[in-house]
Amino acid sequence: CFFFFFSNDLWLFMDLQPPKEPKIEVRVLQEYGEITTSNGDVINLNLGSQQYMRRVDAEPLIRQGILEHIL
């Protein structure tokens, strides 16, 4: 893991290893509707549904509280 220092208060971390799972299983926590993924697929995110999707598409929605990663 490399550490990049940008200011007195901000550190960014960057892993050199790719993610172990390029696709992850997620559960929809909030009704969100249809999304188009980075590879052009269309996924409908209905409340309570479970999806298997690319990590790169899921992570922003996980951070927003729309999805949760099912381990």
The residues facing 3 across adjacent strands are 13
Q: What is the pTM of this model?
A: 0.68
pLDDT per residue as tens, the chain (71 positions): 444 444 455 555 555 556 566 899 999 999 999 999 988 999 999 999 999 999 999 999 999 999 999 98
